[in-house]
Amino acid sequence: MRHKAASVSTAKPDEGSLELTEELIRVRAYQFYRERGCEDGHDFDDWLQAEAEIFGKKLAASAEADDRKGGSRAAGA
């Protein structure tokens, strides 16, 4: 027997997570804009910088979680 509910429910968190991540990037990019004195013309750079910062934090948190679970490759080396 197939479990349709399981496949539907697994798609929902990814969509929400993507929306949340995009909102975090948007807010951080706006902070860069404000810190620069609201100088126009750097929106793409601000977005990329915010994206790198947010994804860097997510990757670091993921690696830390792996370390706690004992899944780190570095621990065995």
The pLDDT profile of the chain, 77 residues, written as one tens digit per residue, is 444 444 443 445 467 788 999 999 999 999 999 999 999 999 999 999 999 999 888 888 888 888 888 755 554 54
pLDDT computed for residue 4 by the predictor: 47
For residue 71, the enclosing domain spans 4-76
Instruction: Name the domain count of the chain.
Output: 1
End-to-end distance of the chain based on CA atoms, in angstroms?
A: 44
Of 65, 60, 44, 52, nearest in space to 21 by CA: 52
> Hey, what are 9's tokens?
């429910």
Class of residue 21 by CB neighbours under 10 A (exposed 0-12, middle 13-18, buried 19+) = middle
pLDDT computed for residue 49 by the predictor: 96
Q: What is the DSSP letter of 71?
A: -
Q: Does the predicted TM-score (pTM) go above 0.85? A: no
pLDDT computed for residue 6 by the predictor: 43
